[in-house]
């Protein structure tokens, strides 16, 4: 292939379908034919890439997540760094809020004595802040002293992410069978009898990167073990398992060992989950 | 230029400031709700294409909209919101989720001149498309998705990734070559001229 031809193919490959990218190119008939074929392929691939199933509850969960705000300093730092790296969408802002802000910055309407009503409002806000700070200190103290959270909270939360789990485990390509690549912190509890066959990352709201292990087997049916890392302490046993709930289709059980919280999701009969656990070795 | 109308009658700076903050917050919340409604699917799909993993796509979408909410004041033109959100998605992916994955060592490619005359939608398998992306080295995949999904020109890709234009053109061409090979020339589809191996 000649250098000229190679260069022409590079330039054709760089042209977006439906754009004017190809206008400056000086193509002969053969080149125009290549461009047409290339763009037909690009059009098709582009459309396919922009399609795909989206979890039905995603919009609601995103709205909840955003309204809850950042969870930690770590998250805040991370987001800030990320956005700083983004090309900012520049442009004039003509909305009323910006006008008011600019008016303030330019010094209009300044230096007017504070009215008693405003002072009262300031006092009320200050008192509110003090109360909130006090509550935060009490809450943090309670957490540090290790008051455990109720196990029922796990059942509530699991009830919220179960539909997403159901959807996610069915998505092609979402599982990894490379068990050697499973992070060691997220390994199965050795007291669970069926071995994990495959795994995938999952978000539970307690920890952004929990892992779901597929411990299904012919003998025990479809069973998933969700391994969550959390500093929270729940009133759960350290030995599997505590039965939590049954949704009709799924039964849930959980236990916690250090910062590893295990949630077992199995068949409709919650008692069947007991059969998944190795008997304690008293020898 | 139209004369500015007074937007606030009060002359109390504290009250004005408080109102601005409240309005800012309210406007930000309204806008982020609109952005979530309009673009959550695009962001999720882009996250999925980049990461090849539904859980990562889900996490990415959460992080992207949280970041967008916190920096909503950076968005001056709502018409550019999609591009802004997709750029955040990509940056977040590159920062947090890029990891070494096994890639297809054969790296077979199909030149543009080997693309058949007519391609039907049925000729391209959806799952094969994602598999082809997953097997692609990350630098190729990122450039390819910026081209197809973000609809960026090679110049814009080069600027955004701070790469030389030649590097972008070469990566894009090779990525497209690999994609063409895997979609049009792999198992059972060897009806097209032989592909080249690098």
> Which residues of chain B are within 8 Å of residue A88 when distances are taken between CB atoms?
74, 84
pLDDT band for position B171 (50/70/90)?
A: very high
Residue of A nearest to B46 (CA): A50
What per-residue confidence (pLDDT) applies to B6? 38
Give A103-111 contacts, CB < 8 A, sequence gap 24+.
A103/B7, A103/B8, A104/B13, A104/B16, A104/B17, A104/B20, A109/B8, A109/B10, A109/B11, A109/B13, A109/B16, A110/B13, A111/B13
pLDDT in tens, B67-89: 999 888 888 788 889 999 999 99
Burial (Cβ within 10 Å: 0-12, 13-18, ≥19) of residue A10: middle
Q: CB-hemisphere CA count at 13 Å for A218?
A: 0
Domain that holds residue A11: 3-46
The 10 Å CB-count burial string (b at 16+, else e) for A130-161 is eeeeeeeeeeeeeeeeeeeeebeebbeebeeb
Query: In total, how many domains does chain A have?
Result: 2
pLDDT band for position A98 (50/70/90)?
A: very low
In this predicted structure, the answer to whether residue A23 has a pLDDT above a threshold of 50 is yes
Assign 3-class secondary structure to chain A.
CCHHHHHHHHHHHCCCCCCCCCCCCCCCHHHHHHHHHHHHHHHHHHHHHCCCCCCCCHHHHHHHHHHHCCCCHHHHHHHHHHHHCCCCCCCCCCCHHHHHHHHHHCCCCCCCCCCHHHHHHHHHHHHHHHHHHHHHHHHHHHHHCCCCECHHHHHHHHHHHHHHHHHHHHCCCCCECCHHHCCHHHCCCCCECCCCCEEEEECCCCCCCEEEEECCECCCECCEEEEEECCCCECCCCCCCEEEEECCCCEEEEEEECCEEEEEEECCCHHHHHHHECCCCCC
> pLDDT: is B179 or A70 the higher one?
B179
> Which residues of chain A are within 8 Å of residue B111 when distances are taken between CB atoms?
1, 9
ipTM field: 0.77
Residue A146 lies in a domain: no
CA distances, A42 to each of A19, A23, A105, B129, B187 (Å):
12, 17, 49, 13, 21
Residue A107 lies in a domain: no
Cα separation, A229 vs A203, in Å, equals: 11
Residue A64 lies in a domain: no
Contact between chains at A86 and B88 (C-beta distance less than 8 A)? yes
Nearest CB to A86; choose among B54, B59, B87? B87
Pairing of strands B108-109, B196-197: antiparallel
Residue A237 lies in a domain: yes
Residue of B nearest to A8 (CA): B112
User: Number of A:B CB contacts under 8 A?
Assistant: 230
Considering only residues 103 to 122 of chain B, which have any Cβ-Cβ distance to chain A shorter than 8 Å? 111-113, 115-119, 121
- Indicate the DSSP class of residue B3: P
pLDDT band for position B54 (50/70/90)?
A: confident
Strand order in the sheet with A224-229: A198-202, A210-214, A224-229, A260-266, A251-257, A242-246
pLDDT band for position B25 (50/70/90)?
A: low
Residue A254 lies in a domain: yes
Contact between chains at B134 and A173 (C-beta distance less than 8 A)? yes
Min Cα–Cα distance to chain B from A159, Å: 18
User: Which residue, among B66, B98, B123, would best test binding to A if mutated, counting the most A CBs under 10 Å from its CB?
Assistant: B66
Contact between chains at B12 and A54 (C-beta distance less than 8 A)? no
Considering only residues 50 to 89 of chain B, which have any Cβ-Cβ distance to chain A shorter than 8 Å? 52-56, 58-59, 61-63, 65-71, 74-77, 80-81, 83-84, 87-88
- Indicate the DSSP class of residue B74: G
Contact between chains at B70 and A85 (C-beta distance less than 8 A)? no
pLDDT in tens, B181-194: 888 876 545 434 44
Residue A239 lies in a domain: yes
Residue B26 near chain A (CB below 8 Å): no
pLDDT in tens, B5-22: 333 333 344 444 454 455
- The CATH number of the domain holding residue A244 is 3.40.1000
Domains present along chain B, CATH in parentheses: 15-97 (1.10.1740.10), 108-197 (1.10.10.10)
> pLDDT: is A77 or B173 the higher one?
B173
Min Cα–Cα distance to chain A from B42, Å: 7
> Which residues of chain A are within 8 Å of residue B179 when distances are taken between CB atoms?
45
Residue A105 lies in a domain: no
Helices B165-184, A29-49: axis angle to 10 degrees equals: 80
Percent of chain A with pLDDT over 70: 66
């Amino acid at each position: 292939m000649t250098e000229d031809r190679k260069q022409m193919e590079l330039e054709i490959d760089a042209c977006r379908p439906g754009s004017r990218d190809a206008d400056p190119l000086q193509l002969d008939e053969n080149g125009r034919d290549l461009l047409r074929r290339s763009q037909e392929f690009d059009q098709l691939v582009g459309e396919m890439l922009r399609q795909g199933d989206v979890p039905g509850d995603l919009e609601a969960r995103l709205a909840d997540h955003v309204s809850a705000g950042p969870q930690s300093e770590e998250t805040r730092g991370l987001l800030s760094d990320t956005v700083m790296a983004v090309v900012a969408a520049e442009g004039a802002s003509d909305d009323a809020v910006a006008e008011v802000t600019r008016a303030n910055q330019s010094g209009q309407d300044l230096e007017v004595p504070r009215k008693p009503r405003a002072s009262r409002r300031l006092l009320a806000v200050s008192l509110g802040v003090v109360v909130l700070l006090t509550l935060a200190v009490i809450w943090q103290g309670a957490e540090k002293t290790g008051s455990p959270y109720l196990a029922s909270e796990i059942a509530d939360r699991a009830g919220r992410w179960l539909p997403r789990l159901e959807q996610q485990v069915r998505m092609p390509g979402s599982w990894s069978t490379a068990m050697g690549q499973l992070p060691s912190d997220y390994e199965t509890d050795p007291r669970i009898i069926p071995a994990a066959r495959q795994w995938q990352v999952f978000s539970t709201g307690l920890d952004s990167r929990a892992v779901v292990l597929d411990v299904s087997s012919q003998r025990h049916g479809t069973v998933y073990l969700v391994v969550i890392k959390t500093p929270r302490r729940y009133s759960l046993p350290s030995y599997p398992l505590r039965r939590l709930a049954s949704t009709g289709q799924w039964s849930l059980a959980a236990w916690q060992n250090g910062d590893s919280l295990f949630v077992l999701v199995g068949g409709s009969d919650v008692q069947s989950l007991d059969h998944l656990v190795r008997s304690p070795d008293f020898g | 230029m139209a004369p500015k109308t007074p937007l606030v009658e009060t002359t109390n700076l504290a009250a004005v400031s408080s109102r601005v903050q409240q309005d800012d917050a309210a406007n930000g919340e309204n806008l982020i709700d609109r952005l979530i409604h309009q673009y959550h699917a695009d962001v999720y799909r882009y996250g999925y294409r980049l990461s090849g993993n539904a859980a990562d796509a889900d996490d990415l979408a959460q992080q992207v909209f949280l970041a967008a909410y916190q920096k909503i004041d950076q968005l001056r033109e709502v018409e550019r919101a999609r591009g802004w959100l997709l750029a955040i998605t990509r940056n977040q992916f590159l920062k947090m989720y890029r990891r070494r994955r096994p890639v297809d060592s054969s790296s077979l490619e199909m030149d543009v001149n080997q693309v058949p005359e007519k391609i039907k939608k049925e000729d391209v398998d959806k799952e094969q498309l994602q598999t082809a992306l997953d097997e692609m080295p990350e630098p190729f995949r990122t450039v390819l998705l910026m081209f197809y999904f973000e609809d960026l020109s090679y110049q814009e890709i080069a600027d955004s990734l701070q790469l030389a234009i030649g590097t972008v053109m070469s990566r894009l061409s090779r990525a497209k070559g690999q994609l063409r090979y895997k979609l049009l020339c792999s198992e059972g589809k060897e009806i097209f001229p032989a592909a080249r191996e690098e």
